[in-house]
Structure 1
Amino acid sequence: MDIDVVVGLQTLLEKVIELHDKYLAYVNNCFMNNTLFHKALKEAFEVFCNKGVAGSSSAELLATFCDNILKKGGSEKSSDEAIEETLERLSSCLLILVIRTFLPNSIVLTVCCRTACRKKLARRLLFDKSANDDHERSILTKLKQQCGGQFTSKMEGMVTDLTLARENQTYFEDYLSNNPNAGPGIDLAVTVLTTGFWPSYKSFDLNLPAEMVKCVEFSGSFTKQKPNTENLRGYTHWGPELFSVSCSQASALLLFNASDRLSYSEILTQLNLTDDDVVRLLHSLSCAKYKILNKEPNTKTISPTDYFEFNSKFTDKMRRIKIPLPPVDEKKKVIEDVDKDRRYAIDASIVRIMKSRKVLGHQQLVMECVEQLGRMFKPDFKAIKKRIEDLITRDYLERDKENANVFRYLA
């Protein structure tokens, strides 16, 4: 991140705090700490903080600012004491101000910031971008004190996962050194993670080339020897970069070991990806800065009628070239994750209420559900009604035969 942007973010967040402190003093001193004025201040800042800045929400700005402090190169000129002081201010002031106080009912709420923070943390941990493990644990401790264990539980699990993964990688390397003929034939690093802790991404069944299949089978058989690792699933989305390309890009390039020329449809079929994923993939390899593949016709867009060949004449002065995939809409994905989390929360609340009451009217069920979930977010009545209908189809509830507005719990 550009240093001017970092300074701008810090200035923006500090100015928000100063502005709040200024008007909070007015409420306390001029208006005798009156609850109505406290409510007015809260509502005013809720509107203010919900307004985006340069297309980003307050939660995204906060997560970006925190990520820059903690990743390698983001705070090289700062001492440990200065970083610790910044993290202290970040947790004690900004999280209370921007998240807990002013965004309780907005789409950009605590869970949204938590999702953004988890994704930033995942990239730092998996791509070895974290500058200091102690600072990572420090900010999680501070966040836990300010926002509760629910906010940090999954992120703490991620840090623990990576610590265990490093130990497992050491055992794996020792095994390879003692059994040189049993290895997969290429350098391999295996990271076993707990699914529930890490951010979820769109899953696709990428058809890996034979070279990678051998690695997956070998690492899977080795890892399953350890306890509690029976259910393993490979994710190529977070796969480490090989020669600065992702697993899906490497899979596409390896197809050209067997064929000199491939059509779009042949690549689509062999990789077993969606059209959107293949378009992004092929665009990065044939239309971006580094043209690893030659495309016919030579245009800047990908079409189902295109053909591709490996660019054998490709050269570059850089020893290590990173070929990024075109970005996906992360903001849309965060909102989808928030909506999914809300659906699960509403379902759980309805089931808890009905399990204890057994029989309950529609209006009373809705109101009790709103009351239960009010501390996390303000659920929409239509959303609750939709979740009730879904639970009926899944045989958790049923309508009373004599009164359609009365529900019965099905054990």
Structure 2
Amino acid sequence: MDADMPEVDLELVWAKLCPGLDIIFRRENMSAKYYMGLYSTVYNYCTNLTAAHVPATAESQLQNNFIGSDLYSHVENYVSAYTTALCKRCDDLDGEALLDFYTKEWDSYRFSAKVLDGVFSYLNRHWIRREIDEGRKERYMVYMLSMVLWKRDMFDTLEHKIIPAMLELIRLERTGHTINKRFISAVVENLVELGMDDTVSAKEEEAKRLDIYKNSFEKKFIEATRDFYTNEVSVFHMENGSCTDYLIKVETRIQQEDNRVTLCLHSSTGPPLSGCCNDVMITKQLEFIQAHFGRLLMDKMDDHLARMYRMCLRVENGLPALRKALKEHVQKEGLEALERVAAEAFNDPKLYMSTLLEVHERYQGLVDRSFSKEPGFMKSLDSAAIEFVNKNAVTLRAPPQLQPLKSSELLSRYCDQLFRKSAKMPDENEMDDIQKKVVSWVGIWACLGWGALLRMLEVTIFKYLEDKDVFLKFYTKMFCKRLIGELSASDEAESTFIQKLTDTCGYEFTTRLTKMFQDIQVSRDLTSAFKEKSADDKKCAEFQAMVLSSGSWPNFPTSGLKLPQQLVVTIENFAAHYQTKYTGRRLNWLYSQCRGEVTTTAFKGKKYVFGVTTPQMCTLLLFNEQTTFTAENIMEATGMDGKSTKAVVGSLVKNQVLKSDKALEGDEVPLNATITLNDGYTNKKVRVDLSKMTMKAEPVKETDNVQKGLDEDRKNMIAASIVRIMKARKSLTHTNLVTEVISQLSGRFKPKIEMIKRTVGSLIEKDYLKRSEQQRDLYEYVA
């Protein structure tokens, strides 16, 4: 050997390395200089070769015979001797003592293996890397070699004691004992790291990395978990535990297992562990759990209902039975609540609506809070509400043909109460507060605010009406009365409500309401302009006109009423003013809808201001000429028909402004009665409204009128829908046409199949449609 060449004899090299390896595996302090000396020894051994060590053939041969195999074997033997000796020290250890020793030694060994890997890094980069790349079996990087030897000499030998010790610790923790969780997590980390393999691709390594962990520990852990909870559930039932206790226990156990995965186990164990717990504690106990859902609903145990929901959500087919039970319960409770107030609520919209809202709010809150607004439960609530809103003990008190209209009527009357000036309307700040705060429907209703009504329309009662067109009929009539009678408490409220209706049902649904509201705004501008123009004309009475567009408003009865001269001049002047702005339009005066004020001092000199209808005004002004008339004289002088005369004069007699020598027949005065001014009339109030009696409508009669016009309106809507559909589709089978018509109109009402059939027949007769000659159930559009 050349004296200048470093030592390349393996035994001499190993003799230098061995003391350093001993220091590494004893975890003693090592200086950087000493560490670099070890690295240099390995480096020099691998790079300084003499001709004696390699064949003198080609240079490529040198590379292929790179010295490393012997050194690799020495490293392997050294580490194996260390792990074998370590394993023997475990012969007398079991349970926690074994886990304590195993985990501590593993931490130390892992550190030593990393240092060892650094010392032999040159060997890793060259000879070992080439061996692996050429497919040599059982060749590993030095760190990986250390893992392989630990598994072979330590874990494989001790597995039969380590895994049971881990499972026993987990069992003890499940039974309430305190354990050292670090023993579990450290062994888990050990098993995962032992699964590493740097001889395969990264993709293969990722797939195989958990094999040792799963095969050695996870499978046994899942089996032990199944056995433990199967036994626990069995004992629970043997002790006759309650459902609520079971829900709490299962929720607690599931949370404990989730925490165990987070703190001790590999994250991949989460799904199989969750599946095991779900199967044992929920799926196999589903019948027991679901059987108590109804009782929890009745007892209003919302926290337990939330637990049951979360539990059943975890398993397949856990929720359908609960959804069905919720629908049945809510429907039953809604019907029972309305049955308790049926007699009073039949003519009390406020009581009816508060009862509906109270039931809905209770279960809307339950679905929101306990069931996390799950769509299936939302649908169950909606289905139940549709049932008890449209058909209940209140609606069944109506005549059979009017029962489908009752809910819509009461809702529209409730709206009317809220929007009238007589209602207790909140101020703007209260309205904002109502909309911002989450309060109970009972609280909102108590405020009687339009904000409550808007929210109610948006999310509750209105959307459950099957026949929204019925509501619109009633609402339009009442809206009309509020506008004409100037009874609306807030224009903003009226406008916003119409917009909400539009958002819910579409523009077409509210076209008439929008036009009616616009007419009133335009009329105010017209009246203001007229007043400015005629301010100096003393012949014009104090006057305000409402110009109502024909076709947008309900039909009003016409009258041949003869106006007093004081009003004729004013009306003629306004008509002339209107023609200057809208040439070609004609005004038809609706005296039946007019109102006014009459100021009088005819009663002992005291001043009164009477609010009257126009027919009442015409009647009272007659008494400026004389104090006694017969009812027939009044009829001739005013131009009213007999029925109107009896009602108008009767209302003034009932208000004691006039006197009759004959008794009233109901609210009407006989035409042969003599009518005189009641000189003894007195009232504490200066302003007295005499119009209420004549303007009071009978709810039953209004409902009958709605019913009469409803069928005709629906026929027209069905016909229009069919024509629209057929114009777009050109041809459709009968079944498909019926389906599309129902779908298109369901937002307004629920069309009956028979009515659709009759309308189709009518359209065929009118040549809008025809039957296909090739297929009798196929309709074709006739352009």
Question: 2:753 matched to which residue of 1?
Answer: 381
Structure 1 residues 236 and 370: alpha-carbon distance in aligned structure 2, compared to 1, 3 A threshold: same
Structure 1 residues 34 and 122: alpha-carbon distance in aligned structure 2, compared to 1, 3 A threshold: closer
Unaligned residue ranges in structure 1 (runs of 5+): none
Instruction: Tell me, yes or no, if the aligned pair for 1:264 and 1:304 is still in contact at 8 Å.
Output: no
Question: 1:15 matched to which residue of 2?
Answer: 358
Greater shift, 158-167 or 202-211, is seen at 202-211
Greater shift, 360-369 or 337-346, is seen at 360-369
**Aligned amino acid, residue 313 of structure 1:** N
Question: 1:203 matched to which residue of 2?
Answer: 557
Q: Please give the per-residue CA displacement for 1:346-395, whole angstroms capped at 9, x wherever unaligned.
A: 231233345557787877765554443233322223333444566577x4
Matched, 1:310 2:678: no
**Aligned amino acid, residue 290 of structure 1:** Q
Structure 1 residues 150 and 353: alpha-carbon distance in aligned structure 2, compared to 1, 3 A threshold: closer
2:721, 2:616 → 1: CA distance? 43
Question: 1:218 matched to which residue of 2?
Answer: 573
Give the drift of 1:247: 2.2
Question: 1:335 matched to which residue of 2?
Answer: 707
Point out the structure with the larger helix share.
2
Q: Please give the per-residue CA displacement for 1:272-297, whole angstroms capped at 9, x wherever unaligned.
A: 6584x5554344234x3435352x64
1:344, 1:119 → 2: CA distance? 20
Give the drift of 1:220: 1.9
**Aligned amino acid, residue 97 of structure 1:** T
Aligned pair partner of 1:75 in 410, 421, 424:
424
Q: Percent identity?
A: 22
Instruction: Tell me, yes or no, if the aligned pair for 1:256 and 1:310 is still in contact at 8 Å.
Output: no
Larger CA Rg, structure 1 vs 2: 2
**Aligned amino acid, residue 72 of structure 1:** K
**Aligned amino acid, residue 163 of structure 1:** Q
Give the drift of 1:396: 5.5
Give the drift of 1:15: 0.5
Aligned pair partner of 1:187 in 529, 542, 546:
542
Unaligned residue ranges in structure 2 (runs of 5+): 1-347, 399-404, 435-448, 599-610
2:758, 2:508 → 1: CA distance? 26
1:273, 1:401 → 2: CA distance? 56
Instruction: Tell me, yes or no, if the aligned pair for 1:96 and 1:146 is still in contact at 8 Å.
Output: no
Structure 1 residues 404 and 145: alpha-carbon distance in aligned structure 2, compared to 1, 3 A threshold: closer
Question: 2:10 matched to which residue of 1?
Answer: none
TM-score when normalising by structure 1: 0.74
Give secondary structure in 1 for the equivalent of 2:382. Answer: helix
Give secondary structure in 2 for the equivalent of 1:188. Answer: coil
Instruction: Tell me, yes or no, if the aligned pair for 1:360 and 1:408 is still in contact at 8 Å.
Output: yes
2:480, 2:362 → 1: CA distance? 33
**Aligned amino acid, residue 364 of structure 2:** D
Instruction: Tell me, yes or no, if the aligned pair for 2:768 and 2:782 is still in contact at 8 Å.
Output: yes
Question: 2:384 matched to which residue of 1?
Answer: 44
Q: Please give the per-residue CA displacement for 1:120-177, whole angstroms capped at 9, x wherever unaligned.
A: 4433333333334334444444444445444444333333322222221111111212
Q: Please give the per-residue CA displacement for 1:53-110, whole angstroms capped at 9, x wherever unaligned.
A: 797944444444444444335236x33221242544432344432122x222xxxx32
1:239, 1:58 → 2: CA distance? 31
Question: Which runs of structure 2 are paired with 1:102-251 in the superposition (5 Å)?
Answer: 102-104=464-466, 109-178=467-536, 180=537, 183=539, 185-198=540-553, 200-209=554-563, 211=565, 212-227=567-582, 230-243=585-598, 244-251=611-618
Q: Using CA pairs under 8 Å that are at least 6 residues apart, name the structure with larger relative contact order, 1 or 2.
A: 1
TM-score when normalising by structure 2: 0.42
**Aligned amino acid, residue 423 of structure 2:** G
Greater shift, 43-52 or 265-274, is seen at 265-274
Instruction: Tell me, yes or no, if the aligned pair for 2:662 and 2:669 is still in contact at 8 Å.
Output: no
Structure 1 residues 365 and 116: alpha-carbon distance in aligned structure 2, compared to 1, 3 A threshold: same
1:337, 1:71 → 2: CA distance? 26
Instruction: Tell me, yes or no, if the aligned pair for 1:201 and 1:237 is still in contact at 8 Å.
Output: no
Equivalent residue pairs, number: 390
Give secondary structure in 1 for the equivalent of 2:674. Answer: strand
Instruction: Tell me, yes or no, if the aligned pair for 2:562 and 2:639 is still in contact at 8 Å.
Output: yes
